[in-house]
């Protein structure tokens, strides 16, 4: 990303005190120099945080953290190390390029890296009830049905927009993303579904999960059928917006059995939240 300080370090535009580097990751000393050996480990591909990073890259970053940390213990005289991460502004993330902190530690070094918290005052049974995973229907339970999660986002409406699709068939996942500099939220919602459907073979059974009432209701409440009968006019006789994308969507779902399911946006649905984060990352790329 253009204005990301870590991307500038990766590209050689800014210097760093490099500890380790491979094809995927870079480890270098934190400029704060607050603890001897304070090291940052980052992926060379830009991801804003753990929330938007793909699992393969995240695993490589974790492997690098272990490699560097173990090197500090085995070769550099330390007794252990902390690995710390902040994901999101609320968690005090300051640089929005995924990174982990490695703090080399010696016995009785006097450092206190964990904050002293006063306690929430809540009963653990209540906390558990609030935060535990609610078991969802597993992808495998859908049998031969392809599961497609989609979301679109826009910075301003119109403005820069992004979309994301997560396609899952019997546990195998594919992710598609994209964006446009000048668009609307509804167009991004449509693009996410279109691209997902275009990447599924004819004859497939598909469940599309979307938080867009605009899209889901168009099918489930027969808006789209009425628009077509009225020569792409609304009930108020005005032109249907985004006709080009609606027509492309209809073409994409031909010869496929597609069911549209409305999910609550920005809630507890993991894949919907992943799509939202990926779509917003596309916006960040455009704005960068």
* Catalytic positions: 151-152, 189, 211, 266, 276
- Eight-class DSSP state of 96: S
Q: Are 160 and 180 in contact (CB under 8 A)?
A: yes
The residues near 17 (Cβ < 8 Å, ≥ 6 apart) are: 28, 29
- CA 75 vs CA 71, 87, 114: distances in Å: 5, 30, 26
- CA 225 vs CA 112, 183, 235, 245: distances in Å: 64, 25, 12, 15
Alpha helices (H) in the chain, listed in sequence order: 5-10, 55-76, 124-131, 185-198, 213-220, 223-229, 243-252, 270-287
φ and ψ at 131, to 5 degrees? -105, -15
261-278 in b/e burial notation, b at 16+ Cβ within 10 A?
Answer: eebeeeeebebbbbbbbb
Cα distance between the two ends of the chain: 6
168: Cα within 13 Å, side-chain hemisphere: 19
- How far apart (Å, rounded) are the C-alpha atoms in residues 149 and 204? 16
240, two tokens: 């249907």
């Amino acid at each position: 990303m253009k204005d990301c300080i870590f991307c500038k370090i990766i590209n050689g535009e800014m210097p760093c005190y490099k500890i380790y580097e491979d094809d995927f990751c870079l480890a270098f000393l934190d400029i704060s120099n607050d603890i001897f050996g304070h090291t940052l480990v980052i992926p060379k591909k830009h991801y804003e945080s753990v929330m938007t990073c793909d699992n393969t890259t995240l695993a490589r970053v974790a492997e690098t953290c272990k490699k560097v940390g173990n090197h500090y213990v085995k070769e550099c005289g330390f007794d252990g190390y902390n690995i710390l991460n902040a994901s999101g502004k609320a968690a005090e993330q300051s640089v929005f390029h995924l990174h982990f902190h490695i703090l080399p530690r010696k016995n009785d070094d006097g450092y206190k890296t964990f904050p002293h918290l006063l306690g929430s005052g809540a009963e653990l049974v209540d906390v558990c009830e609030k935060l535990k995973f609610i078991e969802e229907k597993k992808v495998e339970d859908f049998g031969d049905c392809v599961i497609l999660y989609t979301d679109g986002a826009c910075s301003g409406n119109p403005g820069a927009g992004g979309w994301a699709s997560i396609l899952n068939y019997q546990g195998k996942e594919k992710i598609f993303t994209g964006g446009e500099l000048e668009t609307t939220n509804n167009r991004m919602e449509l693009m996410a579904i279109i691209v997902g459907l275009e990447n599924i073979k004819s004859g497939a059974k598909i469940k599309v999960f979307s938080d867009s009432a605009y899209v889901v209701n168009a099918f489930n409440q027969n808006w789209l059928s009425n628009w077509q009968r009225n020569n792409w006019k609304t009930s108020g006789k005005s032109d249907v917006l985004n006709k080009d994308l609606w027509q492309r969507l209809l073409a994409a779902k031909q010869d496929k059995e597609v069911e549209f399911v409305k999910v609550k946006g920005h809630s507890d649905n993991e894949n919907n939240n992943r799509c939202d984060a990926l779509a917003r990352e596309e916006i960040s790329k455009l704005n960068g």
